[in-house]
Structure 1
Amino acid sequence: MSDKEFQAVEKKIKVLHLIKSLGRGGAEKLIPETALVHNQNRFEFHCLYFYHQENNITDELEKAGIIVHLIPSGNLGLFFHVKKVRDFILSNEIDIIHAHLPWAGIMARSVGNTLSIPIVYTEHNTWERYNKFSYWGNRLSFKKQDVAIAVSNEVALSMRLNSIWDPYQRGGRMKLKVIQNGVNTDIFRRAGIQESIVETKQGTIEKKVTRSKCQVGSIEIDRTLRINLNIPDNAPVIGIVAVFRSQKRLWLWVDVALKILEQYPHTHFMLVGGGEWRERIEAQIKRSGKSANFHLVGVQKNVIPYLSLMDIYLSTSEFEGLPIAMLEAMSCEVPVVATSAGGIGEVIQQGVQGYLAEIGSWDKLSGYCCDLIQKPDLHDRMRLAARERVIEQFSVKRMVSELEQVYLDVIA
């Protein structure tokens, strides 16, 4: 092999994650979490974003080995920067654009009109939920990419239905692939849980699970959090990790919580996150007179201690792609009670890892939570089944393996 051929083999494939902003949503969090598992001897990752905001995750991307870049812009000015993005790609010798969400997808395809570069696009939600500009911009440019990835089967169906009058060209450029979201089960485990593989006297291999108090530095996570939040030791904790926006219908979440308190007044409720709906949710809780039972802990970089405090993960969403926070909770042995929005119904098996209700029947969720509170044996089975489900079907290792194959295919 010549020196030139050897260098060609050894050259890393440069992948550019293109996204509008780096807030703490599920789509954004997937970028560093997948990078930690990717083969970085083979791939080099960059991330270019446009809208800078507080509490973003740039530091998490950098810790994951991603080179982060910013071209400052708002929504309206985004497409005046097509030339800047094109020049950036050329100067950094990017091999693949991987765009996330409609604005970045439209930008990637605009750049791709003047560059011969593979474009991968991940769709994190159903098309019906986008505003008209995002919807039509996405639809009209959609086939100008190599691979469209859907994070759930429902998202993939939405793509197909919305392209029914503009069908994919057989043998044409774009391909559609479902790659469901995944979570790093080695990192997301309940505080105090250790797993190890042991060999028995009979020579068989078994998994050994050890439960103990988990120390982070000198802090005992569960006990310290309960004291700080003023949650009694024996109180059930129902929680969610979310961006406070209308999609999550957190006003209904609070209504469900208040219904549970009628039967189990010692229950506590924890909301991790922040956003535009926070003040309205706080006002709703204050009017209820039950503020002592609710804990809005804000945006947290490390959610594992909070997930480890939860007994039930409750979701009232109107629509979803495939929520990462829910998978992280399941990996931390938290059973789920949720509306069957988006990919949630593809993950939760009714009565196995939790309970599902139709989106319009959200009022059933309180009864399901009460059922888990009053039946500790059932709760124990479901929480173990929740983690097992993620390990078997929704691990980030599986997700990354499929992503890397997409990258190699479009390069080829």
Structure 2
Amino acid sequence: MPRKIKILHLIKSLGRGGAEKLIPETALVHNKDRFEFHCLYFYHQKNNIVNELESVGIKVHLIPSSNLGLFFQVKKVGDFSRALGIDIIHAHLPWAGILSRFVGNKLKIPIVYTEHNTWDRYNKVSYWGNRMTFKQQDVAIAVSNEVALSMQLNSMIDPYKRGGRLKVKMIQNGVNTEVFRRMENGDPDSYREGEGIREQGIELSESVDQGISELVNREEVAHSSSGEISAPDSYRGSRNDSFKTFLGIPESAPVIGKVAVFRSQKRLWIWVDLALKILESCPETHFLLVGDGEWRDRILAQIEASGKSSNFHWVGVQKNVLPYLSVMDIYLSTSEFEGLPIAMLEAMSCEIPVVATRAGGIGEVVQHGVQGFLSEIEEYEELVDYCIQLIQNPEIHQKMSSAARARVVQQFSMKRMVQELEEVYESVLLV
């Protein structure tokens, strides 16, 4: 058999963002007889996905470094790549991209780079570092048309390097539609993950509503020294209990949800404001937030101050988001900017209509009035009426639910994405 092509994913950190999650998810679908995958990262954080990468056969390595320290890691990464016999470096996000180009030029190996956002969203150091080195790679992959246009416009006039070997290719993000299927009746026991995915329990992290707090106490969950509620090891409800009941949400209540890293681009303070307006017309609605981040305390304080905390449920970071998606009826997004959000594609694959701002690649996926509703980025107040319309019109909701999954299956499958990635890998080796 021919030697496997060794791919090194290079990324600054392995948190639970969309770019990071794509590495193990694509590895599950790749041809393992043809490719061998390694991942090298530099900044270690508590909530990372290292175990998830290793569970799908990716060999993970760490070279500790700060952002600016990455400029001094060229020799280490070069020596590491040479020792492992790496054939292609696939970098993600600007800092790793800049580093990879220096390493690639030194070793004379192909560099593939995935851009997950538009350039105007990067700070000045990231922007100029990216621009000065951008043409010193083989293929730049854009996750959406908007990202591709941003790359082309910003590298059209380049005073630092003219010409070069760079090719720009758009490969839109995908989702494993066989894994992301809505769970029957929200019953965790009805869910078994697809081939290659490790079966695991359902974890409950934290919630801001009293109902879940009481439930967690009954589960004998210990409190940490910080006063936060620690997560139970797994779902331990009765077989007759649905996951919705476990979360403290009434069975008949509509649920509007969001999976996200709590950072400013997501504008979750607007998300909460819109939720409170929805409650004025649909007081039975509950809201589910999955994720964590630097904006957590401010968002939770906003919810508590609203006097409506019993309608809000925060479950923290979850390795397995499928059970949480499966209790959502609407996926609401108020983002200021996006690349092409993986969590939204996963939600659509679970038959959840999307109500969102037309940020980044969202408008390339969701067709207004078909798989959900869209507003312009600064006209987010319109999203309130769209959510109310879906809550109050079951027929429209059902039609959009089916259309959401069909759209992802037909146009945004992981199988399609991986096939295009493998074509890129093969092409750069032939040059």
Q: Distance in 2 between matches of 1:137 and 1:157?
A: 19
Q: Which residue of 1 aligns with 2:428?
A: 410
Q: Is the contact made by 1:191 and 1:213 (CA closer than 8 Å) also made in structure 2?
A: no
Q: Which residue of 1 aligns with 2:208?
A: none
Q: Is the contact made by 2:390 and 2:397 (CA closer than 8 Å) also made in structure 1?
A: yes
Unaligned runs of 5+ in 1: 1-8, 194-210
- For residues 248-284 of structure 1, what are the alpha-carbon distances to aligned partners after superposition, in whole Å with 9 as ceiling and x for unaligned? 0000000110010000011000000000000000011
Q: Distance in 2 between matches of 1:315 and 1:270?
A: 12
Q: CA RMSD in A?
A: 1.8
Structure 2 matches for 1:102-141, cutoff 5 A? 102-141=94-133
Pick the aligned partner of 1:159 from 146, 151, 161.
Answer: 151
Which residue identity does 1:78 align to in structure 2?
L
- Give the alignment's TM-score, normalised by structure 2: 0.87
Structure 2 matches for 1:181-220, cutoff 5 A? 181-192=173-184, 214=190
Q: Which residue of 2 aligns with 1:384?
A: 402
- Give the alignment's TM-score, normalised by structure 1: 0.91
1:175 aligned onto 2:167: yes
Q: CA deviation at 1:113?
A: 2.5
Q: Distance in 1 between matches of 2:115 and 2:100?
A: 13
Q: Distance in 2 between matches of 1:394 and 1:126?
A: 20
Q: Distance in 2 between matches of 1:309 and 1:249?
A: 23
- For residues 105-136 of structure 1, what are the alpha-carbon distances to aligned partners after superposition, in whole Å with 9 as ceiling and x for unaligned? 00101112211100000000000000000000
Q: Which residue of 2 aligns with 1:325?
A: 343
Q: Which residue of 2 aligns with 1:197?
A: none
Q: Which residue of 2 aligns with 1:145?
A: 137
Q: CA deviation at 1:77?
A: 1.6
Q: Distance in 2 between matches of 1:317 and 1:187?
A: 26
Which residue identity does 2:184 align to in structure 1?
G
Which residue identity does 1:57 align to in structure 2?
I
Q: Distance in 1 between matches of 2:379 and 2:116?
A: 24
Which residue identity does 2:401 align to in structure 1?
R
Q: Is the contact made by 1:79 and 1:107 (CA closer than 8 Å) also made in structure 2?
A: yes
SS of alignment partner, residue 271 of structure 2: helix
Pick the aligned partner of 2:273 from 234, 242, 255.
Answer: 255
Pick the aligned partner of 1:53 from 45, 49, 74.
Answer: 45
Q: CA deviation at 1:76?
A: 2.5
Q: Distance in 1 between matches of 2:371 and 2:177?
A: 16
Pick the aligned partner of 2:35 from 43, 49, 52.
Answer: 43
Alpha carbons of structure 1 residues 215 and 153: separation in structure 2 relative to 1, 3 Å: closer
Unaligned runs of 5+ in 2: 193-200, 202-235
Which residue identity does 1:129 align to in structure 2?
R
Q: Is the contact made by 2:258 and 2:290 (CA closer than 8 Å) also made in structure 1?
A: yes
Structure 2 matches for 1:389-404, cutoff 5 A? 389-404=407-422
Identical aligned residues as a percent: 71
Q: Is the contact made by 1:149 and 1:176 (CA closer than 8 Å) also made in structure 2?
A: yes
Q: Which residue of 1 aligns with 2:306?
A: 288
Alpha carbons of structure 1 residues 410 and 258: separation in structure 2 relative to 1, 3 Å: same
Q: Distance in 1 between matches of 2:188 and 2:428?
A: 47
* Structure 1 segments of 4+ aligned residues over 3 angstroms from their partners: 167-170, 215-224
Q: Which residue of 2 aligns with 1:355?
A: 373
- For residues 369-405 of structure 1, what are the alpha-carbon distances to aligned partners after superposition, in whole Å with 9 as ceiling and x for unaligned? 0000000000000001000000000000000000000
Q: CA deviation at 1:80?
A: 1.5
Larger strand fraction of residues:
1
User: How many pairs are equivalent?
Assistant: 386
Pick the aligned partner of 2:83 from 91, 96, 99.
Answer: 91
Q: CA deviation at 1:220?
A: 7.4
Q: Which residue of 2 aligns with 1:16?
A: 8
Q: Distance in 1 between matches of 2:98 and 2:115?
A: 12
Q: Is the contact made by 2:257 and 2:289 (CA closer than 8 Å) also made in structure 1?
A: yes
Q: Which residue of 1 aligns with 2:232?
A: none
SS of alignment partner, residue 150 of structure 2: helix
Which residue identity does 1:244 align to in structure 2?
F
Q: Distance in 1 between matches of 2:406 and 2:308?
A: 35
Which residue identity does 1:236 align to in structure 2?
P
Which moves more between the two structures, 223-232 or 107-116?
A: 223-232
1:266 aligned onto 2:266: no
Which residue identity does 2:327 align to in structure 1?
L
Which residue identity does 2:152 align to in structure 1?
R
